[in-house]
Amino acid sequence: MKLSHFKNKKILILGFGKEGKSSLFFLRKMFPKNVFGVADRDEKLKDKRIKDVKWHLGENYLEAIKDYDIVIKSPGIPIHLPALEKGFSEGKITSQTEIFLKHYKGKVIGITGTKGKSTTSSLIYKILKESKRFKVHLAGNIGKPVLYYLKNSNQNEILVCELSSHQLYHLKVSPHIAVFLNIYLEHLDYYKDFHEYLMAKANITLWQRKEDFFIYNANDENINKIAKMSKAKKIPVDNPSKVLKEIGIERTHLRGIFYQWNIACAIEVAKIFSIKKEEIKKAIEKFQPLPHRLEYVGKFKGIEFFNDSLSTIPQTTICALDALGERVQTLILGGFDRGLDFYQLAQEIITRKIPNIILFPDTGNKIWKEILKIVKDDEYLPKAIMVQNMKDAVKEAFRLTQENKICLLSPASPSFGLFKDYKERGNLFKKYVRYYGKKT
């Protein structure tokens, strides 16, 4: 949907978080005479400082959709609700991402994947910025909302944008350079099934043209199927260590094979812009891990602590264990249950003979039951401690973990329930590690 269609229309902002607020402020400046409404379940979001806006807050907020010509949907609003499905079928629902991609004058690099989006986006941004040849911005889920960069955009700009499946859902436009890192079972509480989740992410390339570029994980069977549907110039990545070796990269601050995929894809983007190998190498070797992504907290009472709170699926926990090796003695797991399968993770815990696991509800119980189901009489069984809060989890970690060993928070589950989000979970972990680390 183009902005030319917005004139004299009644516009509803659906979802009033960070992105929803930026959509309202941007569109009101462009169309001051239009009627605007805000709809959200949270009644506390009403802002009396914002004038001339109709508020539709509370349990029945979706009823407002029928009264507006155009609806700007925020990513967090569920898609499979009758009012939403009707709005999509009528063609009245769009998003900030769609508006931006249709109108931004510069080049957009979009990055998606179940895991690694933020790290890869930040890597690409750092490489381009440190080459000092481009005016580059980092936006989307990290950085400012994309509409912030729309009004004064020009052809010489580059915008690096992390794109979630929720932002890509129902799009009919794709970025100039698309990066598809990986895809695992996740968000099955949002989508009907895995195929719908895959096809939402596929929109990052499905609308590209032959002059565009698609960089993708060629070792993933599902992503390969999407690549066959793309019209863009395809750049498959099937051996990340080889890509790193070509640039001369031997060591980085990012641990493990999982991050090698992120780095390799960032390198392929840099090649498109003809950045020199030495410049790429220098930027990558300086790059530090982002918070809550296998973040080294420090050594306290002889124990090394790692915060991998963003690990919300079993595969990323397994990757964290691969990266840290045999010194992991205590593993903190568990969280919100999205119906994922923990068999492979349970098998890894048994095979690696991890001595201690500290478990949060609800999936902590599920993981432990999976371990008990597959363990044999003569096999090693870890010591399991059930906890209800982070303070107790860290206290138990100090009690159980020996000096020169590692305690890893890598929950393999979303944070909802006990914690507001993965950031709160990770920050509480760091807080109590430092608290008990100093306590004598």
25 with 162, same domain: the answer is: no
52 with 132, same domain: the answer is: no
Q: What angle do CA 325, 331, 337 make, to 5 degrees?
A: 125
348 with 362, same domain: the answer is: yes
85 with 117, same domain: the answer is: no
Q: In the structure encoding, which two tokens stand for residue 181, read together? A: 């890192």
Confidence at residue 144, expressed as pLDDT on a 0 to 100 scale? 85
Confidence at residue 378, expressed as pLDDT on a 0 to 100 scale? 67
Confidence at residue 426, expressed as pLDDT on a 0 to 100 scale? 98
How many angstroms separate the Cα of 300 from the Cα of each of 272, 276, 296, 332, 403? Answer: 44, 41, 12, 17, 9
Instruction: Name the domain boundary from 286, 320, 355.
Output: 286
DSSP 57-111: ESTTGGGGGGG-SEEEE-TTS-S-SHHHHHHHHTT-EE-HHHHHHHH--SEEEEE
Q: What are the backbone dihedrals phi and psi of residue 340, each rounded to the nearest 5 degrees, phi first?
A: -80, 160
Confidence at residue 1, expressed as pLDDT on a 0 to 100 scale? 75
Q: In the structure encoding, which two tokens stand for residue 247, read together? A: 């640039």
C-alpha to C-alpha distance for 417 and 317, rounded to whole angstroms: 20
39 pLDDT above the threshold of 80: yes
Q: In the structure encoding, which two tokens stand for residue 5, read together? A: 């269609």
Instruction: Name the domain boundary from 79, 94, 109.
Output: 94
| Pairing, β 303-307 against β 295-300 | antiparallel
Average pLDDT value for the chain: 95
Helices marked H in 104-193: 117-130, 165-168
CATH number of the domain that 312 lies in? 3.90.190.20
Confidence at residue 275, expressed as pLDDT on a 0 to 100 scale? 97
Helix-helix angle 257-272:314-324, to 10 degrees: 100
C-alpha to C-alpha distance for 269 and 252, rounded to whole angstroms: 18
Q: Decide if 344 contacts 318 (C-beta within 8 A).
A: yes
440 pLDDT above the threshold of 60: no
Of the pLDDT bands very low, low, confident and very high (cuts 50, 70, 90), residue 141 is confident
* CA neighbor of 11 nearest in space, from 118, 87, 92, 82: 92
* Residue range 316-368, pLDDT digits in tens: 999 999 999 999 999 999 999 999 999 999 999 999 999 999 999 999 999 99
131 with 237, same domain: the answer is: yes
* Residue range 239-294, pLDDT digits in tens: 999 999 999 998 999 988 889 999 999 999 999 999 999 999 999 999 999 999 99
In which domain, by residue range, is 103 found? 98-286
Weakest-pLDDT range from 56-60, 106-110, 140-144, 416-420: 140-144
How many angstroms separate the Cα of 360 from the Cα of each of 3, 380, 387, 412? Answer: 47, 22, 6, 11
* Residue range 300-309, pLDDT digits in tens: 999 999 999 9
Exposed/middle/buried for residue 43 (C-beta within 10 Å: 0-12, 13-18, 19+): exposed
149 with 136, same domain: the answer is: yes
Instruction: Name the domain boundary from 253, 286, 319.
Output: 286
Provide the residue type at 338 as one letter.
R
The whole-number average pLDDT for the span 291-298 is: 96
Q: How large a percentage of the chain has pLDDT more than 90?
A: 90
249 with 383, same domain: the answer is: no
* CA neighbor of 130 nearest in space, from 240, 290, 281: 281
* Residue range 157-215, pLDDT digits in tens: 999 999 999 999 999 999 999 999 999 988 878 999 999 999 999 999 999 999 999 99
Confidence at residue 238, expressed as pLDDT on a 0 to 100 scale? 97
State how many domains the chain has: 3
**SS3 at position 203:** helix
CATH number of the domain that 275 lies in? 3.40.1190.10
Confidence at residue 376, expressed as pLDDT on a 0 to 100 scale? 78
Q: What are the backbone dihedrals phi and psi of residue 35, each rounded to the nearest 5 degrees, phi first?
A: -85, 130
CATH number of the domain that 27 lies in? 3.40.50.720
381 with 428, same domain: the answer is: yes
C-alpha to C-alpha distance for 95 and 71, rounded to whole angstroms: 8
The DSSP code for 44 is G
C-alpha to C-alpha distance for 281 and 264, rounded to whole angstroms: 11
Weakest-pLDDT range from 75-84, 134-143, 228-237, 293-302: 134-143
9 with 24, same domain: the answer is: yes
229 with 331, same domain: the answer is: no
Contacts of 109 (CB under 8 A, 6+ apart): 124, 158, 159, 160, 161, 175, 176, 177, 179, 269
Of the pLDDT bands very low, low, confident and very high (cuts 50, 70, 90), residue 113 is very high
C-alpha to C-alpha distance for 172 and 83, rounded to whole angstroms: 21
126 with 73, same domain: the answer is: no
45 with 111, same domain: the answer is: no
* CA neighbor of 284 nearest in space, from 302, 268, 306: 268
